Amino acid sequence: MVPVLAACSGGATPRLDPTDPLADREPRREPDRGPAVAVVRALPAGEVLDLRPTERVGGSGIDPAVVDGLLHAALRQSPHLDFAGGVERCPSAAHSLAPVFDPETRRITVALWAVNDAPTPLAAVGFADRDLPSAIDELARSIRLALGERLTLRPLSVSRAYSADLDAVRFTEQAHADERRGLQGSALDRAVRALREDPGCPPAILVRTSLTLAGGDLPEAERMANQALVLLGERLTPSIRHRLARLLLLARAERAGPAGARAFDDKLRELGVVSLRERPFDPHARFSRALGNAYLSRFDAALPDFRNLRARWPDVPWIGYHLCFAELAAGTPQAALDAIEGVDRQLPEARTLLPRALALYHAGHHVELSDMLQRAGRRAASDQLLAHEILRMQAAHAILLGDADAAARHVLEDLEWLRARPEQLEAALIDVVDGGEVLVELGFGAALMIRLEALRAVQTNAEGVGHALAYLAALATADNTADPTARMADSNLVKSGRTAWAARLRGFLAWRSGDLGAAANEFATALRLADEPLSRARFAQVLLSLGREEQADQVLAELRDDLLRIDLRRPLQHPLSGPGRALAFLATQLD
């Protein structure tokens, strides 16, 4: 690891890379020798206790959410028990804590509730002559001791671990609540307000960094996470430090792209593994291990963790999202459908539509899938890219069901949708070619030509659009390699550098004319230039016609595996994601 410098209270000192799992250990502190507290009920290690929202009895003043935030920050430092509060609540836990805040007497009491048992008074604290954060420190200490925990290390005071500024705490808790409801913009605004009150507030920095990463600003998310880890070491609890390190690795993996992400995903998995040795009951460490394994496509290892976290974090939508993919990879589509249930009400539909569609498809719920895509298409008017993807998914689903007419209708509708939006046409060029090839394969070349004429009238400066339309026109009209339109299109495609399209055109026309040897060579060339599912399927079909069944079977088996493989670091190739992939997948079903 490359050492970096960290600003500490005693001056700059060397510190390991903050993403190094071995650097995630808390420095040892003096044992806590506060006054003894009697054990009320000793709970086993790893017990989950649900932290109920603080109840305020009469009066006004301090927001109960501030008490919740501070108390959760104090209790979450326990390596022995799992205190579940805020968005991390676990209402199904066998034990829960019920804080009551009386602003008149300035006293907080906490009772322990257990299933089928009466509440038991656990701890209380008054703060008439002191600040709330220090009172919360004492209350948390009393709670942990009353539950049978031995405090060998003095925890960080919440005035450092969270903030001594109660407005900063209040704004941060509001940001958490907004984020939970999917109000990303409002959550970010509140996190920024919290940081105006206390620029070093770790939970506010965590929220802001998480939202920045979710918003796609990878360099800024990486900068914020790294800066917090390097400069705020003396204010970070083990859990917050871990979560910032996770965000840093996720940002770096995204920036590295599919080819370079694996190294960071492996570090993420290692971060979770090592952290679980230090804090074996921390769900965030389990989440890091599960995410790392999932991004490495080790779904068999990730699945138990995600299932465990689904029970532990029922209100965290990303758990259901990732569990859905893990269940699909495990071949349990109904469990995947159960996992994604309700998640689409908390996350953007653009993120949840595909996993829900895959779960419905593999579970055999085709009517429900068709209805869902139709409803989503009506809602997608304000999201142009989503509307385009839905039309392609509808075409793919129709192909997979054997309804060529419906598939052609959806592809033609998508091409018309793109004609009406020239600004989207160049970005969707690959999809235009994919849809056009599918129309030719399905026997709708004449309908394609009408759409191509309309697309030619679109005013665009993108040179590639003209080449794509010429390529598709040649496919739709030529019956043999001697056709002048095909020869001209071939020549222009080669001159423009679109050699993969040229090879696919020559292969298609050679196949049509019965020149199987030439067709095999051209499709092999096209695949070397651009590995595309429909060309692989065509290549396999030519090989079958040549009697090279073993080679064709190998090509089709590899194609099927690639189409059904779930790789979270690469664009999904599933047959349901596009009509060309759906048609290619059908070719793998031939006996």
Please give the domain boundaries of the chain with CATH numbers for all domains.
48-163 (3.30.160.100), 380-477 (1.25.40)
Q: What is the pTM of this model?
A: 0.89
- pLDDT digit string (tens) for 176-202? 999 888 888 999 999 999 999 999 999
> According to the model, what pLDDT value does residue 424 have?
85
Structural element, H or E, at residue 80 = none
> According to the model, what pLDDT value does residue 478 have?
76
Reference 380, options 366, 368, 394; nearest CA is: 394
CA–CA separation, 562 and 123 (whole Å): 58
Residue 277 makes CB contacts below 8 A (sequence gap 6+) with: none
Identify the DSSP state of 21. G
> According to the model, what pLDDT value does residue 453 have?
92
- pLDDT digit string (tens) for 500-509? 999 999 999 8
> According to the model, what pLDDT value does residue 128 have?
78
- Assess contact for 534 and 584: CB atoms under 8 A: yes
Confidence of residue 11 (pLDDT cuts 50, 70, 90): very low
Identify the DSSP state of 112. E
> According to the model, what pLDDT value does residue 3 have?
28
- pLDDT digit string (tens) for 195-245? 999 999 999 999 999 999 999 999 999 999 999 999 999 999 999 999 999
**The two structure tokens encoding residue 101:** 């805040």
CA–CA separation, 576 and 572 (whole Å): 10
Q: What is the identity of the amino acid at 548?
A: R
Average pLDDT of 284-296?
Answer: 98
Confidence of residue 42 (pLDDT cuts 50, 70, 90): very high
CA atoms within 13 A on the CB side of 368: 12
CA–CA separation, 304 and 214 (whole Å): 25
277, pLDDT greater than 80:
yes
Please give the torsion angle defined by the CA atoms of residues 398, 401, 403 and 407, in that order, rounded to the nearest 10 degrees: 20
- pLDDT digit string (tens) for 158-179? 999 999 999 999 999 999 999 8
Average pLDDT of 54-62?
Answer: 82
Poorest-confidence range of 35-39, 120-124, 217-221, 257-261? 35-39
- Assess contact for 18 and 244: CB atoms under 8 A: yes
Poorest-confidence range of 250-259, 289-298, 339-348? 339-348
- Residue-averaged pLDDT of the chain: 90
264, pLDDT greater than 60:
yes
Question: Residue 443: how many CB atoms within 10 A of its CB?
Answer: 10
Partner residues linked to 555 by β-bridges: none
- Assess contact for 535 and 527: CB atoms under 8 A: yes
314, pLDDT greater than 80:
yes
> Over 409-455, what HEC string results?
HHHHHHHHHHHCCHHHHCCCHHHHHHHHHHHHHHCCHHHHHHHHHHH
Average pLDDT of 331-356?
Answer: 90
> Over 145-181, what HEC string results?
HHCCCCCCCCCCCHHHHHHCCHHHHHHHHHHHHHHHC
> According to the model, what pLDDT value does residue 153 have?
83
CA angle 433, 439, 443 (to 5 degrees): 145
- Assess contact for 386 and 380: CB atoms under 8 A: yes
Count of helices and strands (H, E) across the chain: 26, 8
CA–CA separation, 543 and 557 (whole Å): 14
Matching residue, tokens 């996992």 = 339
> According to the model, what pLDDT value does residue 10 have?
32
- Assess contact for 507 and 516: CB atoms under 8 A: no
Poorest-confidence range of 44-58, 336-350, 389-403, 475-489? 475-489
